Amino acid sequence: MIDAQQIRHYAALSLERLWPRLETILHDEVSAAPADWRAFETRLRREWDRLFDLLFGLYGSHYDFFYHLEELLTATARSWLTRASWLKQLDERRSATPEWFQSQQMVGGMCYVDLFAGTIQGLRERLPLFKKLGLTYLHLMPLFESPEGNSDGGYAISSYRRINSELGTVADLSELAREFQEQGISLVLDFVFNHTSDEHEWARSAQAGDSEYQQFYFLFPDRTIPDRYEQTLREIFPTVRRGSFTWREDIQRWVWTTFNSFQWDLNYANPAVFRAMAEEMLFIANLGVEFLRLDAVAFIWKREGTSCENQPEAHQIIQAFHSLARIAAPALLFKSEAIVHPDDVMSYIGPHECQVSYNPLLMALLWESLATTEVKLLDHSMGHRFRLPAGTAWVNYLRSHDDIGWTFDDNDARWEWIDPVGHRSFLNQFYMGRFPGSFARGVPFQENPDTGDARVSGTLASLAGLEQAIQSGDEQQADLAVRRILMLYSIVLSIGGIPLIYLGDEVGTLNDYTYSTDPDKANDSRWIHRPQVNWTWHRQVEEDISTPHGQIFAELTRLIALRKQQPAIFDGEAEFVETGNGHLLGYVRHGGGQRLFVVASFSSQPQKMNADLLREYGTGYHFIDLITGQAFNTEHALQLEPYQCLWLEQETTTTIS
């Protein structure tokens, strides 16, 4: 066993040997930019012990470790030296205010470039809408080259250096990043690093028999090893293909494909894979990306006899990427996409791993509370799972381009006398509109015939009841649906972290059933919530508050603007408190000299909250609801309308008569 002190000794020795070699290899670039080189050296030396330790732990036993290390550092240095000067300035600004992304000013949006705007140029034309909404973060879903037809919505990448030519060029993308940065909008792109498409040049070389590239993936001549692994693997897309391996006739091999058969898992046990992907990551960073969304983080390391999810090495790999980013692209932040058990989600979050993470637990439990009208599981789970390490933040969302899976901890459920298995099945039935009285219009995603597991697809508005209400011409139901949507948004906008809007939801877009006629989409129900935007309609809605869609847009925009004025939402803590009413979720936020008490009702009936509790949490007698401007005092119980959410602030201007 090598101890920490010895590793540090190895690290120092390695750097002593490597540094002069780097200076020689990069001689011309270094003499052209001595100040940049010094900055690089400072950061490299700062990170070195950590980086070396991680890489040595992962790959130290490989005969060619030192070769890979040198190549990696050379590539990292080159990437820094070619980083655009506007990005280097951004690096400095961000390093000076590392907490910038925890600000209440932050509001995210996400979209597919093709479906939302056609092209990169089209996206530029949407800037006025992004400004109107107050977005400061824009996630463009994968726009890199990918196979024709089914490419899992772009999540099968054939080249990390070229974008889909119908959308524009890499230069257009980089230009957009700069323009949007000037407008205060940070670009977010995916780093789809668990797999490439089977058309990526590495996969093509592997198919052509190149053994070096065959070792980039997991290829097996027969079922012996796949069968052993499959005893403990979860199936991710069981309705598309059973198991996690795909037989390739052309090379007579089984290929590890966790997701679709054309998405080949990369073998990170091979240092060449780590190095190759690190170079792709730095290339993407230098396009002007500020947040890299680490796709499918849970799956990147395989170990026989385990689920091959959330393995310790997955964390080491991400931390090593992180460390390289600190050195060569300091402004870059990592966002984890781990849609797994809440404990595992948490394990990716930290100042040296992913600074931000999707919050699938809050997302799933908001829907859970909406179905049950009760907040007990939400309140209990958030009470001990919302807090994050310093310097990190949640990305809180209601919908994304993916399905909803009922992620919550089984013991949290049992604590509240809820049977987890039965409850998940109820939630599926409810959101698929199969439960009596359900307002939702979702559809099943990946129902597994063996385990009974399923997830749900559908847009925010269709899941919240708007589709059913409009179809049956029921205005009262439509009103309730709008209230549900706005109440959910009022929570993600006030709870802390970065609220993320799946664009289309800002106008209450309904399910689009036409995907089922497209053979490339028909067996993936997630396309029901990925429609092409109709801009004539969208523009009308933006101006017309007589429709539910227009009401959602107008009110959401107003809520966002309101959020931005509340210092209490900056970073910090949400303290979940007992409201004395099972339908009401309550939390207190304080900071920046402000104290906010938020209370949200998940009931379609009027509800009350005891005035004494209000006095306790609000620490005062007179309050103003920032959303409606309505005044409250603690002489009477707090009255909430159906699905109302109040942002209560103590009234400071009250004069006692």
Residue 349 DSSP one-character state: B
Residue 288 interacting with ligand GLC (CB under 6 A): no
Q: At its nearest, how many Å lie between ligand GLC and the CB of residue 152?
A: 5
Please select the residue that binds ligand GLC; options are 403, 467, 542, 555, rule is CB under 6 A. Answer: 403
Tell me the C-alpha distance between 371 and 463, whole Å.
10
Restricting to residues 339-358, name those near ligand GLC by CB under 6 A. 339-340
Contact between 247 and 254 (Cβ < 8 Å): yes
Residue 152 interacting with ligand GLC (CB under 6 A): yes
Q: In sequence order, which residues have a C-beta less than 8 Å from that of residue 621 and are 6 or more positions away?
A: 615, 633, 634, 635
Angle at 295 (CA atoms; ends 294, 297), nearest 5 degrees? 80
Q: At its nearest, how many Å lie between ligand GLC and the CB of residue 465?
A: 24
Stretch that binds ligand GLC, among 148-156, 207-215, 271-279, 649-657 (CB under 6 A): 148-156
Is 16 annotated in the active site?
A: no
Residue 259 interacting with ligand GLC (CB under 6 A): yes
Is 295 annotated in the active site?
A: yes
Q: How far is CA 108 from CA 114, 192, 322, 427, 503, in A?
A: 19, 20, 22, 27, 9
SS3 640: strand
Residue 296 interacting with ligand GLC (CB under 6 A): yes
Q: At its nearest, how many Å lie between ligand GLC and the CB of residue 232?
A: 16
Which of 360/620 has CB closer to ligand GLC?
360
Phi and psi, residue 109, nearest 5°: -135, 155
Which candidate in 71, 199, 235, 337 is catalytic? 337
Q: At its nearest, how many Å lie between ligand GLC and the CB of residue 156?
A: 7
Which of 73/363 has CB closer to ligand GLC?
363
Which of 363/609 has CB closer to ligand GLC?
363
Which of 84/240 has CB closer to ligand GLC?
240
Please select the residue that binds ligand GLC; options are 271, 405, 458, 618, rule is CB under 6 A. Answer: 405
Angle at 429 (CA atoms; ends 426, 433), nearest 5 degrees? 140
Which of 47/337 has CB closer to ligand GLC?
337
How many Cα atoms sit within 13 Å of 108 on the Cβ side? 32
- Closest residue to ligand GLC, based on beta-carbon distance: 155
Residue 155 interacting with ligand GLC (CB under 6 A): yes
Nearest to 15 by CA among 46, 59, 58: 46
Stretch that binds ligand GLC, among 114-122, 265-273, 327-335, 397-405 (CB under 6 A): 397-405
Residue 193 interacting with ligand GLC (CB under 6 A): no
Please select the residue that binds ligand GLC; options are 153, 226, 508, 531, rule is CB under 6 A. Answer: 153
Question: What does the block give as tokens for 114?
Answer: 């093709």
Please select the residue that binds ligand GLC; options are 58, 120, 236, 503, rule is CB under 6 A. Answer: 236
Q: At its nearest, how many Å lie between ligand GLC and the CB of residue 289?
A: 17
Tell me the C-alpha distance between 156 and 571, whole Å.
35
Residue 382 DSSP one-character state: H
Restricting to residues 50-89, name those near ligand GLC by CB under 6 A. none
Which of 369/525 has CB closer to ligand GLC?
525
Contact between 141 and 401 (Cβ < 8 Å): yes
Which candidate in 36, 47, 198, 295 is catalytic? 295
Question: What does the block give as tokens for 339?
Answer: 């849609």
Count residues contacting ligand GLC (CB under 6 A)? 15
Report long-range pairs for 249-254 (Cβ below 8 Å, ≥24 apart). 250/207, 251/206, 251/207, 251/209, 251/219, 252/221, 253/219, 253/220, 253/221, 254/219, 254/220, 254/221, 254/222, 254/223, 254/226
Which of 249/450 has CB closer to ligand GLC?
450
Catalytic positions are: 295, 337
